[in-house]
Amino acid sequence: MFTNTAPLYLGLCWLPIVLTNPECSWLPGACKILKCNDFGNKRDLKSALNKNTDLTENCVVLNIVNSNLSSLEATAIEGYWKLSTVNEIRLNGNNLSSVSENAFSHFTSLKRLSITNNDKLEVIKLKEGLDKLEELNLSHNKIKVLNNSYLPKIKNLTKVNLSFNKLTNLTSLLCNFENLEELLVNNNNLSVIEDYFSCNTKLGILDLSLNQIRQIIFNVFINLQELSILKLNDNQIDILPVRITENTTIFNGLYKLKYLYLENNYLKMLDSYTFSNLKNLKQIHLDNNKIEIIESNAFSGLDNLESLRIADQPLVTIKKDAFGDLSNLKSLLLQNLNNSTNIDKDAFFHLKNLQHLTMFNTNINLQANMFSELNNLNSLKLQNDELYELKPNIFIGLQNLQELNFDGCAINSISNGAFYGLENLLTLQLNDNSIDKLKPHTFIGLSKLNSLNLFNNTITEIEPNSFNELKEVKFLNLSGNSISKLKNDTFKGLVGLPKIDLKNLNIDFIEPGAFNGLDNLIEMDLSYNNIKIVKETLFSNLSKLANLNLESNNITALNKDAFYGLTNLVSFNIKNNSIRALKQNNFNGLENLKKLNLSRLLINEIESGTFNGLSNLETLDLSCNEIKILETKTFLGLENLRILFLQDNNLTEIKEFAFENLKKVETFDISGNNINILRNNTFSGLTSLKVLNLSDLNIQAIQSNPFSGLHQLENLDLTKNKIKLSDYNELPGVSLLLNKTNKIIDLIVEQRNLTLLTPIMYILNSLVSVSKRTQSKFDQFVNQTKNSPHDSSQEFTFNGGIVIERKLNVWPPQLACPGSSYIYIAFPKQVLDLPPKKMKDFRLELITNTSSER
493, exposed or middle or buried, with CB in 10 Å at 0-12, 13-18, 19+? buried
- 662: closest CA among 626, 703, 620? 620
Which residue range(s) make up the domain with 782? 764-847
- 337: closest CA among 380, 275, 388, 294? 294
- 729 versus 50: which is more confidently predicted? 50
CA distance linking residue 639 with residue 642, whole number of Å? 9
> Which residues, in sequence order, are CB contacts of 18 under 8 Å at separation 6+?
none
Residue 253 pLDDT greater than 70, yes or no: yes
CB distance 734 to 754 below 8 Å: yes
Model confidence at 20, pLDDT cuts 50, 70, 90, reads low
Model confidence at 383, pLDDT cuts 50, 70, 90, reads confident
Look at residue 806 and tell me if it is in a domain: yes
> Which residues, in sequence order, are CB contacts of 435 under 8 Å at separation 6+?
411, 412, 413, 414, 454, 457, 458, 459
Alpha-carbon distances of 53 from 16, 36, 115, 195, rounded to whole Å: 35, 14, 24, 48
Summarised one tens digit per residue, pLDDT across range 152-202 is: 999 999 999 999 999 999 988 999 999 999 999 999 999 999 999 999 999
Please give the average per-residue pLDDT across 376-392, as a whole number.
Answer: 90
Residue 800 pLDDT greater than 90, yes or no: no
Please give the average per-residue pLDDT across 221-242, as a whole number.
Answer: 96
* pLDDT the model gives residue 823: 29
CB distance 499 to 477 below 8 Å: no
* pLDDT the model gives residue 146: 94
Across 148-157, 244-253, 475-484, 671-680, least confident range = 244-253
Look at residue 506 and tell me if it is in a domain: no
CA distance linking residue 69 with residue 76, whole number of Å? 9
213 Cα distance to chain centroid: 38
Look at residue 26 and tell me if it is in a domain: no
Q: Are strands 838-847 and 743-745 parallel, antiparallel or unpaired?
A: unpaired
Model confidence at 56, pLDDT cuts 50, 70, 90, reads low
Across 174-183, 203-212, 257-266, 332-341, least confident range = 332-341
Q: For the chain, what percent of residues have pLDDT higher than 90?
A: 55
What's the mean per-residue pLDDT of the chain? 82
Summarised one tens digit per residue, pLDDT across range 141-154 is: 999 999 999 999 99
Look at residue 293 and tell me if it is in a domain: no
* pLDDT the model gives residue 754: 30
- CB-side neighbour CA atoms (13 Å) of 566: 29
Q: Name all contacts of 14-18 with Cβ < 8 Å and 24+ positions apart.
A: 15/817
Summarised one tens digit per residue, pLDDT across range 591-610 is: 999 999 999 999 999 998 89
Indicate the number of domains in the chain: 1
* pLDDT the model gives residue 771: 43
Q: For the chain, what percent of residues have pLDDT higher than 70?
A: 81
Instruction: Indicate yes or no: pTM above 0.75.
Output: no
Residue 744 pLDDT greater than 90, yes or no: no
**Longest pairwise C-alpha distance within the chain:** 111
Helices (H), 708-812: 772-787
Backbone dihedral angles phi then psi of residue 824, each to the nearest 5 degrees: -95, 120
CA distance linking residue 166 with residue 192, whole number of Å? 14
* pLDDT the model gives residue 260: 96
Look at residue 803 and tell me if it is in a domain: yes
Look at residue 776 and tell me if it is in a domain: yes
Residue 747 pLDDT greater than 50, yes or no: no
* pLDDT the model gives residue 306: 94
Kindly provide the b/e burial profile for residues 823-839, where b requires at least 16 CB atoms within 10 angstroms of the residue's own CB: ebeeebbbbbbbeeeeb
- The residues pairing with 61 across neighbouring beta strands, listed in sequence order, are 33, 88
Amino acid at 144: K
328 CB neighbour count, 10 Å cutoff: 15
Please give the average per-residue pLDDT across 687-700, as a whole number.
Answer: 90
- For 75, the 3-state DSSP assignment is helix
Summarised one tens digit per residue, pLDDT across range 287-312 is: 999 999 998 889 999 999 999 999 99
Q: What is the enclosing helix (H) or strand (E) of 466?
A: none
20 Cα distance to chain centroid: 36
Per-position DSSP letters for 161-208, written without gaps between them: E--SS-----TTTGGG-TT--EEE--SS---EE-S--TT-TT--EEE-
Q: What share of the chain is helix, strand, coil (3-state, %, to 5)?
A: 5, 25, 70
- The residues pairing with 824 across neighbouring beta strands, listed in sequence order, are 9
Look at residue 521 and tell me if it is in a domain: no
20, exposed or middle or buried, with CB in 10 Å at 0-12, 13-18, 19+? exposed
Amino acid at 652: T
CB distance 116 to 137 below 8 Å: yes
* pLDDT the model gives residue 765: 29
186 CB neighbour count, 10 Å cutoff: 21
Summarised one tens digit per residue, pLDDT across range 90-123 is: 999 999 999 999 999 888 889 999 999 999 999 9
CB distance 92 to 69 below 8 Å: no
Please give the average per-residue pLDDT across 3-28, as a whole number.
Answer: 51
CA distance linking residue 759 with residue 828, whole number of Å? 9
Look at residue 598 and tell me if it is in a domain: no
CB distance 129 to 110 below 8 Å: yes
Strand segments, DSSP code E, in 302-344 are 307-311, 317-318, 331-335, 342-343
CA distance linking residue 202 with residue 455, whole number of Å? 55
- 85 versus 407: which is more confidently predicted? 407
Summarised one tens digit per residue, pLDDT across range 480-516 is: 999 999 999 999 999 999 999 999 999 999 998 999 9
699 Cα distance to chain centroid: 42
